[in-house]
């Protein structure tokens, strides 16, 4: 028996990186995990490997920017695992992200970017909430970033939106027994970070942190599991930095 035995969780963007770490850790703690991602090949591989190692998982393809696709994802979870207890909104455009200014970024790219990185969390929440209600409540963890607290262009703007969405949904859904919180990672050593952020820039960020190292996806897992669990039953509407002391907020 694990901490989440009998619970069904959807993790978006779970085919690699942080989302994959979340999916594997939740499955290892007893949850039935829907590995949801746009990348079918990688997502299928993650779900298959979880099952091979004794966990319960199934893959479904999702485009979080499309409300109909998000609805299909929630229905998939209901068919395979009986419902939805938890949602981890991790999917984002990050690996391969364009680096540009807010006032010059291509408008169509900007709209697509925001539809995934900010609106996608809302689309998935809207799809999953009715299923959580039928289970008597649930919990949502949104993936923010310390980019919300420092200059980070349109990526930072999207994460500011995720923080606001977290706080607003916490109030709207609290009466249904659904809690909503967010994790704001600092610089995490993933393939996406290595391809997007110039290494000289990363070195400068790490130098200014209290703990002089990059984070790893596993550094985020403990807080994610805690926020989903009954131990956090009186915590909602909060954004938690997990960043090695990169950002100090009062």
Q: Which residues does the annotation mark as catalytic?
A: 155
Please give the structure tokens belonging to residue 67: 């409300």
Task: Measure the CA angle with vertex 167, ends 6 and 179; round to 5°.
Answer: 20
- Separation in Å, CA 202 to CA 132, 146, 188: 39, 14, 10
Cα 36 to Cα 244: distance, rounded to the nearest angstrom: 28
Burial (0-12, 13-18, 19+ Cβ within 10 Å), 59:
buried
Backbone torsions φ then ψ of 141, nearest 5 degrees: -120, 120
**Integer Cα distance of 125 and 132 in angstroms:** 10
Do 190 and 90 meet the contact criterion of CB atoms below 8 Å apart? no
Name the strand (E) or helix (H) holding 118.
none
DSSP 99: P
Report how far residue 206's alpha carbon sits from residue 42's, in angstroms, rounded to the nearest whole number: 30
């Amino acid at each position: 028996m694990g901490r989440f035995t009998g619970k069904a969780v959807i993790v978006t963007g779970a085919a690699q990186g942080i989302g994959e770490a979340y999916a594997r850790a939740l499955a290892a703690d007893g949850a039935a995990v829907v590995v949801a991602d746009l990348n079918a090949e990688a997502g299928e591989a993650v779900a298959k490997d979880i099952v091979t190692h004794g966990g319960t998982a199934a893959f479904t393809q999702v485009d979080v920017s499309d409300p109909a696709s998000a609805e299909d994802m929630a229905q998939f979870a209901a068919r395979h695992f009986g419902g939805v207890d938890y949602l981890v909104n991790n999917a984002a455009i990050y690996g391969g992200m364009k680096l540009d200014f807010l006032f010059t970024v291509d408008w169509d790219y900007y709209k697509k970017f925001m539809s995934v990185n900010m609106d996608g969390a809302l689309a998935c929440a809207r799809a999953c909430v009715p299923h959580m209600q039928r289970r008597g409540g649930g919990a949502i963890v949104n993936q923010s970033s310390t980019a919300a607290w420092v200059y980070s262009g349109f990526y930072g703007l999207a994460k500011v939106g995720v923080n606001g969405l977290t706080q607003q949904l916490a109030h709207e859904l609290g009466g249904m027994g659904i809690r909503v919180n967010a994790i704001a990672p600092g610089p995490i050593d993933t393939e996406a970070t290595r391809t997007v952020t110039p290494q000289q820039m990363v070195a400068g960020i790490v130098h200014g942190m209290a703990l002089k190292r990059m984070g790893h996806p596993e550094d985020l897992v403990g807080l994610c599991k805690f926020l989903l669990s009954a131990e956090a039953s009186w915590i909602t509407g909060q954004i938690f930095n997990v960043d090695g002391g990169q950002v100090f907020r009062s």
